[in-house]
Structure 1
C-alpha cells in the first residue's frame, strides 16, 4: 500500500533540493553575464588600442581582460552546462580574439590553444574572428605603404582560413564555425585580390621609373 505522506514528503524534499541547486546555478549564471560584459568591453579596448598602436594601453586592458576571464571560467566550471554553453563560449571567443591579436602584434607569434588555456570551440571561433581584425590592420598598413608587413599578416589570415576549413563538423559540435569560416574565406579572397593588384601596380611603376631613367 502506498504511504502517501511519505511519497509527498519525498517529492517535496527533492524539489527543495532542486530549487536550491537551480537558484545557486542561476546566481552563478548572472555573475557570468555581468563579468562577461566586462571581458567583452576590455577585449574591445585591447583591439582598439592595438589598431592605434598604443601598445601600453593595450597591455593594461589585456591584463584586466585576462583576470576577469579567469574568474568567469572559474565560475562557469562549477556547472558543466554553463561551461559548455553559448553564453560562456561567446565570452571566451571574445577573449581569444583579443588575446591572439595582442600577442601577435606585440610578440610576433600566435599563441596555441594550450598557451591560452581555453576550450576548443571558443579557440576556433576567436581564431576566425581574428581574420577580420587582421583585414583592418592590413588596410592600415597598405595606406602607410607598408606592403611587406601587410603581406605577412595576410599570410597569417590565409593560414587561419586554410587550417580551420578542414574542420568539417556540424553546428552542434562546432557552433557558428561554418558561418565564420565562410566570412574568413570572403575576407582572405578580397585581401588576396587587393594585394595582388597592388603588387602588380608596384611592379609597373618600378618598370616605368627604370624606363624613364634609362
Structure 2
C-alpha cells in the first residue's frame, strides 16, 4: 500500500508540476494580450484604425498560441487567467468593428466562448462613452447620438441576460455600471447639445 500511494502521489506531482509550468507560460501570453488590447483601444479612440489593427493582429496570433497551449490542460480555459485575457481581447475587437465598420462580430468569429465575449461587450460600453465625450468636445453631436444609440442597444441586450454570477461571473456588475454610464452620458449629451445651440442662437442675435 505504501509503495502504491507513493506512486500515485508522484504521478500527481508530475501532473501538477507540468500544469504549473503551463500556467506560467499562459500568464506571460495573457499579459502581452492585455497590453496589446489596451494599446489597440487607445488607438481606436484616437481614430488610428491602422495602428489598432496591427495590435489586434498581434493579439490574434497570441490568442491562437494561448488556446493551442490549453489543449493539454483544458480546465485552465475556465481560470481567471484565460477569462480576463479573452475579455480584454473581445473588448478591443468589438470596439474596433463598431468604430471602424459600424458592425458587430460574434464570439464564434473570434473563436472564443460566449462568457468572455459577453464580459468584453459589457466593457465596450465604457469605451464607447469615452469616444462620445470626445465627439461632444468637438461639437460633433450628430455622430455622438448615433454612437449613443449603439451604446444603448448593447446595454439593452446585455440587461436581458439574467443569469447568476456562477454562469457569467461579473456580468451583473458590468450591467449595473453600464446603466449608470448610459444615464450619465444621455444627460450630458442633452445638456451639452442644448448649450451648444443656445450659444449658437445667442451669437446669431448678437451679429444681428
Query: TM-score of the superposition, structure 1-length normalised?
Result: 0.89
Moved more, 80-89 or 36-45: 80-89
Give yes or no for contact 1:76–1:88 (8 Å, CA) kept in 2. no
Match of 1:43 among 37, 41, 61: 37
2:139 is the counterpart of 1:145: yes
Deviation at 1:205, TM superposition (A): 5.6
2:163 is the counterpart of 1:169: yes
1:4 maps to none
Give yes or no for contact 1:96–1:127 (8 Å, CA) kept in 2. yes
Q: Distance in 1 between matches of 2:19 and 2:59?
A: 24
Q: Distance in 1 between matches of 2:102 and 2:158?
A: 21
Match of 2:89 among 92, 95, 100: 95
Q: Distance in 1 between matches of 2:61 and 2:155?
A: 29
Q: Distance in 2 between matches of 1:76 and 1:183?
A: 32
2:150 maps to 156
Structure 2 unaligned blocks of 5 or more? none
Q: How many residues of Structure 1 are paired with residues of Structure 2 in the alignment?
A: 208
Moved more, 72-81 or 82-91: 72-81
Moved more, 201-210 or 127-136: 201-210
Query: TM-score of the superposition, structure 2-length normalised?
Result: 0.91
Structure 1 unaligned blocks of 5 or more? 1-6
Deviation at 1:208, TM superposition (A): 6.1
1:111 maps to 105
Deviation at 1:128, TM superposition (A): 0.6
Q: Distance in 2 between matches of 1:142 and 1:199?
A: 8
Q: Distance in 2 between matches of 1:78 and 1:90?
A: 20
